[in-house]
Structure 1
Amino acid sequence: MLPEIQATIQQPVVKNMMKALYFQFTVGVLPLYLVTFAGYWAYGSSTQTFLLNNVNGPIWVKAVANITAFLQSVIALHIFASPMYEYLDTKHGIKGNALAFKNLSFRILVRGGYMTLNTFVSALLPFLGDFMSLTGAISTFPLTFILANHMYLVANKNKLTSIQKFWHWINIWFFAIMSVAATIAALRLIALDSKTYHVFADL
């Protein structure tokens, strides 16, 4: 995300953004695939949802990894909750200096309360990750990969070569199949975890 943010600072924005996106989807995805394939190679299908639960080694290594995961979760929550924050600020007339007492106290109370509520629900429903997988399969795959490719095809249908069109249609069909497979897998996980479910269970 950092290259994308930096790309919007200097001109030409579109050209820099494209460079950042190419970097993100080539070099940037390597660590993600490394963790995915190395984790499956090491633990197989018995891997737990939270990968660090499977890791053995020095306590300090696991502690650092868990702290890093926690900080990443806090940052990610703030990013994805930004539309809600903006809506609440607009609805309650919060504007001007961010450090003004009224604005600062409102944001600490409301945003802190929002994060606390989310954390409470996540702990209350210990297999909430399964539901997140389901919503991701139903929404993230179609919106991020299928719709984007289809919109690009429609917008540039007279400018694309046959190979480019073929490539985008491959993406559409591949991620459509992945979406269906991920939906089935998420429903299976929900069915399995619901058998051992109780409030605040440590799954």
Structure 2
Amino acid sequence: MVPLGWIGGTCGLLLAAAISMYANALLGRLHEAGGKRHIRYRDLAGHIYGRKMYALTWALQYINLFMINTGFIILAGQALKAIYVLFRDDGLLKLPYCIALAGFVCALFAFGIPYLSALRICIPGSQSNRIFTTIGAVANLVFAYNTGMLPEIQATIRPPVVKNMEKALWFQFTIGSLPLYAVTFMGYWAYGSSTSSYLLNSVHGPAWIKVVANFSAFLQTVIALHIFASPMYEYLDTRFGSGQGGPFAIHNVVFRVAVRGGYLTVNTLVAAMLPFLGDFMSLTGALSTFPLTFVLANHMYLMVKGPKLSAFQKGWHWLNVVGFSLLSVTAAVAALRLIILDSSTYHLFADM
């Protein structure tokens, strides 16, 4: 919301929800394409386009998941640092240390309210910098709503599959979005208002509120990371694990500990190295979330339902394909520019 402002940010959140709901509804209607349930997005893409698109979709999905998981570790580390600073602002506990601790806790959890940070209400720099930052924010809005994993998330839904999937989507993008809006708007107001900002950040302010908020954020990110890491665990277990001896056999337990721990170690290392990961998430949103959720969904719908669509409907879906493709390219250019600028400002393992 910061680069877009109150009006732009609020409209952007609502518009991103609407177009995300629409795109996911298209995917839901393709869930039983060809008379067969496709429980993975890449299976659906492979069914429609062939093996090469299966591989490309798989790659984009797991890049998405890796970035989401890495981002969660950064948020957890920021929450820990925010709690520490409330009591001892001596600079001894750096952000990379907090991220490493958060990654360790996440690894432990794997085996067995969005973070309210101080916001920059005005975007510094030249007019061109504000423009590119705004374009990057648009990609982040889309990233906030989508994972490119609808078939995987809804795979166990009971028949009639498509109808119930649409009901679940309507619930998710209406009632389910209210907590997101509430936390976002309250956090933005709290740190944007001069009075509330003073109360929250003053020495005599209600420190316990910030402790509870950040500790809740820490717990939430640990749980969320485990959920979004599950598809990667499933792939690694299926691809490289041994099915003999059951899940609790010693060799299978050791394998899971080593593989999952190794995956989270890589996540944590990247998170500590690049705490300005928001720029990379903008790039991921441009190169992965936009194509998976909007471009590919509309084109797959054309491929499967094309003969039954009117000329107007075909034109509408082609407009979406072309429009979101152009937006994806534009957002990617903006994200690359921000990465270059921030790379010259922040060093690796920066304490932000």
Work out whether the TM-score is over 0.5.
yes
Report if the CA contact (8 A) 2:291-2:325 is conserved: yes
Q: Where does residue 35 of structure 2 map in the other structure?
A: none
Q: What amino acid does structure 2 have at the position aligned with 1:91? A: F
Taking structure 1 as reference, are residues 60 and 94 closer, same or farther at Cα in structure 2, changes over 3 Å only? farther
Structure 1 CA distance, aligned partners of 2:310 and 2:244? 49
1:194 aligns to 2:343 (yes or no):
yes
Query: Structure 2 unaligned runs (5+)?
Result: 1-148, 193-199
Question: Which structure has the higher relative contact order (CA within 8 Å, separation 6+)?
Answer: 2
Query: Structure 1 unaligned runs (5+)?
Result: 45-54
Taking structure 1 as reference, are residues 198 and 38 closer, same or farther at Cα in structure 2, changes over 3 Å only? same
Structure 1 CA distance, aligned partners of 2:215 and 2:255? 28
What is the root-mean-square deviation of aligned Cα atoms in Å? 3.4
Report if the CA contact (8 A) 1:7-1:20 is conserved: no
Please state whether the residue corresponding to 2:306 is helix, strand or coil.
coil
1:69 aligns to 2:217 (yes or no):
yes
1:110 aligns to 2:259 (yes or no):
yes
State the shift of 1:163 in Å.
4.5
Taking structure 1 as reference, are residues 138 and 115 closer, same or farther at Cα in structure 2, changes over 3 Å only? same
Q: Where does residue 325 of structure 2 map in the other structure?
A: 176
Report if the CA contact (8 A) 2:279-2:335 is conserved: yes
Per-residue deviation, residues 40-71 of structure 1 (Å, max 9, x unmatched): 77778xxxxxxxxxx75733333333334334
Report if the CA contact (8 A) 1:8-1:16 is conserved: no
Taking structure 1 as reference, are residues 94 and 78 closer, same or farther at Cα in structure 2, changes over 3 Å only? farther
Per-residue deviation, residues 146-177 of structure 1 (Å, max 9, x unmatched): 11111101211121234433443343344334
Percent pairwise identity: 69
Equivalences, count? 191
Q: Where does residue 50 of structure 1 map in the other structure?
A: none
Match among 177, 181, 206 for residue 58 of structure 1: 206
1:148 aligns to 2:148 (yes or no):
no
Match among 283, 297, 306 for residue 134 of structure 1: 283
State the shift of 1:24 in Å.
2.5
Q: What amino acid does structure 2 have at the position aligned with 1:176? A: S
Report if the CA contact (8 A) 1:130-1:190 is conserved: yes
State the shift of 1:178 in Å.
3.1
